[in-house]
Amino acid sequence: MPIVTLDLLAQYRSLADEINTAVLGVLSSGKYIMGDKVSGLEKEIAEYIGASRAVGCASGTDALLLSLMAAGVGPGDEVITTTYTFFATAGVISRLGATPVFVDIRPLTYNIDPALMEERITGKTKAIIPVHLYGQVADMDPIMESASKHGIAVIEDACQSIGAKYKGRNACTIGHMGCLSFFPSKNLGCAGDGGMITTDDGSLADKLAILRVHGSKPKYFHKVVGINSRLDALQAAILSVKLKHLDRWIGMRRENAARYKELLAGTPVVLPHEREDCKHVFNQFVIKVDKRDELKEHLTGKGIGTALYYPLPLHLQECYAYLGYKEGDLPNSEEAAGYTLALPMYPELPEKDIVEVTDAIKDFFQGK
Ligand SMILES: *Cc1c(COP(=O)(O)O)cnc(C)c1O
């Protein structure tokens, strides 16, 4: 039996009756846009995160875009972020006519290096987007310190890290706004696209709620130009069912990660590093190895799926050639892009699969 990186059906099957009932309930209600299901989920997520407000939107990408809009980012502004992330983090900066400023990562955690970030702050810096990559929160204390010194907005990209903790605080509660994605492969995933922004700032939340409906309040009266980015009632209904199980699923991911670490100890594999003051939620389980491409091929040959997050850092992407970065500028990210590999990881991943994957990795190192 092939081993996949992610089995979404395993989760659906475990809750099929409840999810089907929720979906049919929305279909037969005739209320498909916003409404009770969306406002109910916003309250539940705000409570789960420990933020005072949450605003649903159409995707994690839109959560980031709306946050930048609420922070007033536009042409001429600079926004600092990590070069080692999913494209959306930077794409939204460009879409607003602002310039992404790319910063390198720390090699152990793959998260943005706060000291390098501070060096890139200029009079044009309007916002900073730290990304909590793979399920671990970036080093937020120094980031918040630099940002507040310079009066810069901090938008947490927690799309991979709902439920993660940093020094006892939840992801999304440390910056001015926190962005979540409910894309199916995230730790809390819906059956399509969905996203949410959380904040403790009531006036920002009001702004976000207006921006997601074309900037209108009341309807048909526009003080600002917004976008159309709503969370579907259908997705909200599914997410309300799933949210109740999120902590259990995070526990299962952490157990799988612990088992991987146990079985790979003593091999040449560089294992994911969990900071002592952080709770990692393992959206991905990413290892680092010298012969990454050969190992990937070896595992593929044995029917074991793996993935590359991400093969090319953003500062070297063709669309950002105009920014003038060159190879070697952000070396830790370039190294991570060349040598990391994501192994199968999802809550229901069978223990025997973890054993099979790690046995195959050990065989690789023994030349078998
Ligand atoms: C998934 C993801 C996004 C975008 O979320 P979508 O819901 O797919 O638009 C943004 N940033 C990071 C780090 C992500 O992993």
Q: Which amino acid is at 103?
A: V
Share of the chain above pLDDT 90, in %: 99
pLDDT tens readout for residues 240-281: 999 999 999 999 999 999 999 999 999 999 999 999 999 999
Q: Which residues form ligand 1's pocket by a CB distance below 6 Å? A: 59-61, 85-86, 88-89, 131, 157, 159-160, 181, 183, 193, 195
Ligand 1, atom nearest to 181 Cα: 7
- pTM value surpassing 0.85: yes
pLDDT tens readout for residues 319-357: 999 999 999 999 999 999 999 999 999 999 999 999 999
Residue 159 confidence (pLDDT): 98
Is the pLDDT at 1 greater than 90? The verdict is: no
**Nearest residue (CA) to ligand 1, atom 14:** 159
Ligand 1, atom nearest to 85 Cα: 13
Residue 211 confidence (pLDDT): 98
Kindly tell me the burial class for residue 17, based on how many C-beta atoms sit within 10 Å of its own C-beta (0-12, 13-18, 19 or more).
exposed
Residue 127, phi then psi, degrees to nearest 5 = -155, 160
3-class DSSP state for residue 76? coil
Nearest Cα neighbor of 141 from 174, 177, 105, 179 is 174
**How far apart, in Å, are the Cα atoms of 56 and each of 80, 118, 163, 221, 263?**
25, 31, 17, 21, 40
**What does the pLDDT average to over 62-70?**
98
Distance 368 CA to ligand 1 centre (A): 38
CB atoms within 10 A of CB 356: 17
Is the pLDDT at 292 greater than 90? The verdict is: yes
Residue 307 confidence (pLDDT): 97
Q: Which domains are seen in the chain, by residue range? A: 8-243 (3.40.640.10), 246-366 (3.90.1150.10)
Q: Render the burial of 300-336: b for 16+ CB within 10 Å, e for the rest.
A: eeeebbbbebbebbbbbbeebeeeebeeeebebbbbb
Distance 56 CA to ligand 1 centre (A): 15
Distance 60 CA to ligand 1 centre (A): 5
Q: Across the strands, what pairs with 112?
A: 105
pLDDT tens readout for residues 214-233: 999 999 999 899 999 999 99
Note the Cα 109 to chain centre separation in Å: 14
**Nearest residue (CA) to ligand 1, atom 5:** 60
pLDDT tens readout for residues 81-121: 999 999 999 999 999 999 999 999 999 999 999 999 999 99
Measured between alpha carbons, how far is 121 from 124 in angstroms, rounded to an integer? Answer: 8
Distance 89 CA to ligand 1 centre (A): 7
Residue 368 confidence (pLDDT): 81
**Nearest residue (CA) to ligand 1, atom 6:** 60
Q: Which amino acid is at 124?
A: K
Give 317's pLDDT tier (boundaries 50, 70, 90).
very high
Residue 189, phi then psi, degrees to nearest 5 = -115, 145
3-class DSSP state for residue 108? coil
Residue 7 confidence (pLDDT): 96
Distance 266 CA to ligand 1 centre (A): 34
Residue 280 confidence (pLDDT): 98
Give 141's pLDDT tier (boundaries 50, 70, 90).
very high
Is the pLDDT at 70 greater than 90? The verdict is: yes
Nearest 5°: the CA angle 186, 189, 195 is: 90
Ligand 1, atom nearest to 61 Cα: 9
